[in-house]
Structure 1
Amino acid sequence: MTADTVERADGAKALRREQHGWYFYDFACSVYSTSVLTVFLGPYLTSVAKNAADAEGFVHPLGVPVRAGSVFAYAVSVSIVVAVLVMPLVGAAADRTGRKKPLLAAAAYLGATATTCMFFLDGDRYLLGALLLVVANASLAVSMVLYNAYLPQIAEPDERDAVSSRGWAFGYTSGALVLVLNLVLYTGHDTFGVPESTAVRICLASAGLWWGAFTLVPLRRLRDRQVAPHGEGTVGTGWRQLMATLRDMRRHPLTLGFLLAYLIYNDGIQTVISQASIYGSEELGLDQTTLITAVLLVQVLAVAGALGMGRMARLYGAKRVILGSLAVWTLILAAGYFLPAGAPVAFYLMAAAIGLVLGGSQALSRSLFSHLVPSGKEAEYFSAYEMSDRGLSWLGPLVFGLAFQLTGSYRDAIISLVVFFAIGSVLLARVPVKAAIAAAGNPVPDRI
């Protein structure tokens, strides 16, 4: 065996080690997305806001009348606006210094701390809950800029669909595991000698502890790459760097076209994820146990869905598989509008359908975009991508909240999201992805 062969083998081994470490950030932070954002915080924060509401069901933050049932959706929107303001600074700092890992650690542990502090959310402290949600959700979005920017560096072009899908699968696996523990605690809270509200607060806080603990794995295994010096200080040039990134993206209009499509349809996905528990509890009258087991079903099937859609992408191409998943999302929302109240079996069927397309549609979107990023601009472009993924997904929750504010019906709110999938599908279908990859200066896979 030659020295060159040994060096390549060692390099491949080191890369696999990084990939395994990279998967574990999904394993760490996905518990926040499932246990906190999807299951517990929406209904619980709504109940806290109702405790603080007047006789007409309104709270008055800063003197503005807001329906208690809209507080959670509005807080999600505010958190995303905060993330928009911070992500350009972080993306520029990462690309200028090459030090993604310290920035990832800072964002992850700020979010994990805010989530752990949700244990103190009780009584009528809805403003505390909204503030912690804003900090945790914005921190997650910022951390994902840095996490996603590692993908082009740790995976070759022909393996990114598989690596990205495995990352999502790790995340859904941890989400399912922790939800089982949450379900045991919540349903048996009397046995454990704790009130129901305390059980919920323990579930919220435990997600923060899990997030912080397992973030240690990627921080140990991922490594930063050296970059050429970039002149000025990173924080002061963050917004100028964003403007430069957007100007640079104008030279890659097909990449920009994909981002626009992703912005639209992912806004719908993120809103369904964050508002599903509110819809189930407030409109369908389902109890918390039903909601937990439904989301657990989503987690289990999402693992199979992410891996299965990754395999389908190798046969049919990522773009076709994503378009098929968006058609399924549209059917899910249409069916959800007609779901009868107090019918858990129908809700479980909808949850199963969501699970089968959720992980794959997100994983394949991430890996497809990685092919469209010019070399050396990963963090900058993934900062823009993350704005589409989480940072600009404020419109869906805002539309959802306004629909309920104006009509008092969560059914009207949920059906309004169909437009995001319809428009996103049309825009994605118009993007010639092979030409977009070639225009970015990257090798074009045989099937994409």
Structure 2
Amino acid sequence: MKTATDLPAHPAAATDDRALRRMQFGWYVNDWANAAFSATVLTVFLGPYLTSIAKNAADAAGDVHPLGLSIRAGSFFPYTVSFSVLISVGAMLLAGTVADRTGRHKELMCGFAYVGSIATMGMFFLDGDRYLLGGALLVVANIAYAVSVALSYAYLPGLASPDERDSVSSKGWAYGYAGGGLLLIANLALFEGHDGLGLSSGTAVRICLASAGLWWALFTVVPLLRLPSRAGAAPVRTDPAVTEPHTEPGATEPDRPAAGSLRELARTLRGMRRYPLTLLFLGAFLCYNDGIQTVVSQASLYGSEELGMDQTSLVAAVLLVQIVAIGGALLLGRIARRYGAKRTVLGSLVGWVITLALGYFMPAHQPAWFYALACMIGLVLGGSQALSRSLFSHLIPAGREAEYFSVYKVSDRGTSWMGPLVFGLAYQVTGSYRSAIISLLIFFVIGFAVLAKVPVRRAVEAVGNPVPDRL
């Protein structure tokens, strides 16, 4: 027989808790869904495959000529990634502004997800010398991916209390790596068995690319059903002190029509100057995460062209990254509970520098060493990104989540532009991918130095948010 102490003191609170867990699960599955594009398309298959298509279209000097420009075929993929992000910067900022003004975060997030998934499924038609089609589909898919993920980040402050955000953010990343890894297992099996299925290697790659779009579309149904339209509407925000959104001077109410969003976007960018410590953290993140994302997006190209890894080894290595990153994200989340997120992120950046240096000296045609490098990347990858996301969530004025996370997302998860540009230029000048990979050290060194100078506790207080026990 139940006693009074066995029953919830406040039935409404129990209902809110169930609703919150439902929303959190929907948010986790969103990471599960879009990780397929990041892992299968950007990280593994598209780089080497699109490069091979560009080489098929190259002239005798090894150059292709998109839009009348003459570039090396080997630089086409990183340049295209960089170009897509230059376009996505404005798209993310504008979408974030519209979302905060209209409260249609979910509709915009899922809408862009479906645009990206359709473009990704269209990659099935890449063959021969259609490198321009591949570049166009990559641009559309990468822009849609960036906008969708930026809008999903805006939900974090409403899905966890300040002291729980590191854990919730890390769990989201773990879901993402699990989903991306599961699809990679299926794609690896398909690629390995393509001869037995009567498929060419190119056809197998195209099926793998399209499968990522299909996966993305199918699992986006879960956040579409479980998340509220407006980010920050989760039951965790029942305290009157944090329920009312912070409104900056000159800002319009978030539920007004989207007309005039460009003016509101300009106000947002001007308003960010009121929080210089937030901008300082953002500058650090944009720098070191450019390095992270360039390593992720160019690793398969480096492995195939410089280290002589075949497609099977590349897929297996990225699968290792996905598996190890699940544990790495959860492990660094636990470490952050004891030492704080900032210290943990700084430690992970040291790990990135060591990993990059080892990658530079790695011998070619040695899969075992390449797998060891993949494990090192996985260990620091998930945690450094998950904790950066949760740290930034503390530095955003309430009610401006989508706009600020849109700025944050400029350099997040495979959409950085400075890193691929430096990587491509380094290869353009030297003709060596080793020189290209070691050139990325500058992003980690500068990012570490800037982050070390950020007084995170003061930054949280400056935007009027509650300060967690450990930062």
TM-score range, shorter chain: over 0.9
Deviations 1:418-448 (A, max 9, x none): 0000000000000011111111111111111
Name 1:253's counterpart in structure 2.
276
TM-score, scaled to structure 2: 0.92
1:64 aligns to 2:87 (yes or no): no
Question: Relative to 1, partners in 2 of residues 1:392 and 1:430: Cα closer, same or farther, differing over 3 Å?
Answer: farther
Name 1:237's counterpart in structure 2.
261
Name 1:216's counterpart in structure 2.
221
What is the CA distance between 1:230 and its match in structure 2? 4.8
Please say if residues 146 and 415 of structure 2, whose CA atoms lie closer than 8 Å, have aligned partners that are also in contact: no
Matches within 5 A, 1:154-303: 154-225=159-230, 229-230=253-254, 233-234=257-258, 236-238=260-262, 240-303=263-326
Name 1:385's counterpart in structure 2.
408
Aligned to 2:10, the other structure's residue is in SS state: helix
Distance in 2 of aligned mates of 1:294 and 1:445: 37
Distance in 1 of aligned mates of 2:88 and 2:259: 15
What is the CA distance between 1:385 and its match in structure 2? 1.0
What is the CA distance between 1:361 and its match in structure 2? 0.3
Please say if residues 101 and 219 of structure 1, whose CA atoms lie closer than 8 Å, have aligned partners that are also in contact: yes
The range that moved more, 104-113 or 382-391, is 382-391
Q: CA RMSD in A?
A: 1.6
Question: Relative to 1, partners in 2 of residues 1:273 and 1:3: Cα closer, same or farther, differing over 3 Å?
Answer: closer
Please say if residues 89 and 235 of structure 1, whose CA atoms lie closer than 8 Å, have aligned partners that are also in contact: no
The range that moved more, 267-276 or 392-401, is 392-401
Unmatched tracts of structure 2, length 5 or more: 234-244, 246-251
Q: 1:42 aligns with which of 41, 47, 56?
A: 47
Please say if residues 89 and 234 of structure 1, whose CA atoms lie closer than 8 Å, have aligned partners that are also in contact: no
Q: 1:120 aligns with which of 112, 125, 145?
A: 125
What is the CA distance between 1:237 and its match in structure 2? 2.2
Please say if residues 411 and 417 of structure 2, whose CA atoms lie closer than 8 Å, have aligned partners that are also in contact: no
Distance in 1 of aligned mates of 2:415 and 2:368: 34
1:87 aligns to 2:92 (yes or no): yes
Q: Give identity over the alignment, percent.
A: 63
Aligned to 1:123, the other structure's residue is in SS state: coil
What is the CA distance between 1:229 and its match in structure 2? 4.3
Please say if residues 81 and 415 of structure 2, whose CA atoms lie closer than 8 Å, have aligned partners that are also in contact: no
1:415 aligns to 2:438 (yes or no): yes
What is the CA distance between 1:380 and its match in structure 2? 1.3
What is the CA distance between 1:390 and its match in structure 2? 5.8
What is the CA distance between 1:243 and its match in structure 2? 2.3
What is the CA distance between 1:392 and its match in structure 2? 7.3
1:373 aligns to 2:396 (yes or no): yes
Distance in 2 of aligned mates of 1:96 and 1:141: 20
One-letter code aligned to 2:19 = A
Distance in 2 of aligned mates of 1:49 and 1:267: 25
The range that moved more, 241-250 or 229-238, is 229-238
TM-score, scaled to structure 1: 0.97
One-letter code aligned to 2:106 = K
Please say if residues 119 and 141 of structure 2, whose CA atoms lie closer than 8 Å, have aligned partners that are also in contact: yes
One-letter code aligned to 1:264 = C
Please say if residues 39 and 295 of structure 1, whose CA atoms lie closer than 8 Å, have aligned partners that are also in contact: yes
Q: 2:448 aligns with which of 422, 425, 429?
A: 425
The range that moved more, 297-306 or 335-344, is 335-344
How many equivalent residue pairs? Answer: 447
Please say if residues 294 and 414 of structure 2, whose CA atoms lie closer than 8 Å, have aligned partners that are also in contact: no
What is the CA distance between 1:389 and its match in structure 2? 2.1
Please say if residues 21 and 221 of structure 1, whose CA atoms lie closer than 8 Å, have aligned partners that are also in contact: yes
What is the CA distance between 1:3 and its match in structure 2? 9.1
Please say if residues 27 and 172 of structure 1, whose CA atoms lie closer than 8 Å, have aligned partners that are also in contact: yes
One-letter code aligned to 1:191 = G
1:6 aligns to 2:11 (yes or no): yes
Please say if residues 142 and 415 of structure 2, whose CA atoms lie closer than 8 Å, have aligned partners that are also in contact: no
Question: Relative to 1, partners in 2 of residues 1:391 and 1:33: Cα closer, same or farther, differing over 3 Å?
Answer: closer
1:329 aligns to 2:329 (yes or no): no
Question: Relative to 1, partners in 2 of residues 1:235 and 1:192: Cα closer, same or farther, differing over 3 Å?
Answer: farther
Aligned to 1:431, the other structure's residue is in SS state: coil
Distance in 2 of aligned mates of 1:319 and 1:47: 41
Deviations 1:2-44 (A, max 9, x none): 9970111111110111001100010000011001100000000
Aligned to 2:356, the other structure's residue is in SS state: helix
Name 1:151's counterpart in structure 2.
156
What is the CA distance between 1:85 and its match in structure 2? 1.9
Please say if residues 397 and 463 of structure 2, whose CA atoms lie closer than 8 Å, have aligned partners that are also in contact: yes
Distance in 2 of aligned mates of 1:37 and 1:26: 15
Distance in 2 of aligned mates of 1:112 and 1:180: 20
Q: 1:348 aligns with which of 348, 371, 375?
A: 371
Aligned to 2:412, the other structure's residue is in SS state: helix
Aligned to 2:288, the other structure's residue is in SS state: helix
Name 2:362's counterpart in structure 1.
339
What is the CA distance between 1:246 and its match in structure 2? 2.2
Please say if residues 286 and 342 of structure 1, whose CA atoms lie closer than 8 Å, have aligned partners that are also in contact: yes
One-letter code aligned to 2:364 = A
Please say if residues 80 and 390 of structure 1, whose CA atoms lie closer than 8 Å, have aligned partners that are also in contact: no
Distance in 1 of aligned mates of 2:383 and 2:398: 25
The range that moved more, 81-90 or 134-143, is 81-90
Distance in 1 of aligned mates of 2:410 and 2:259: 18
Question: Relative to 1, partners in 2 of residues 1:166 and 1:231: Cα closer, same or farther, differing over 3 Å?
Answer: closer
Please say if residues 20 and 159 of structure 2, whose CA atoms lie closer than 8 Å, have aligned partners that are also in contact: yes
What is the CA distance between 1:387 and its match in structure 2? 1.7
Name 2:464's counterpart in structure 1.
441
Deviations 1:69-105 (A, max 9, x none): 0000011011101111211211111111111111012
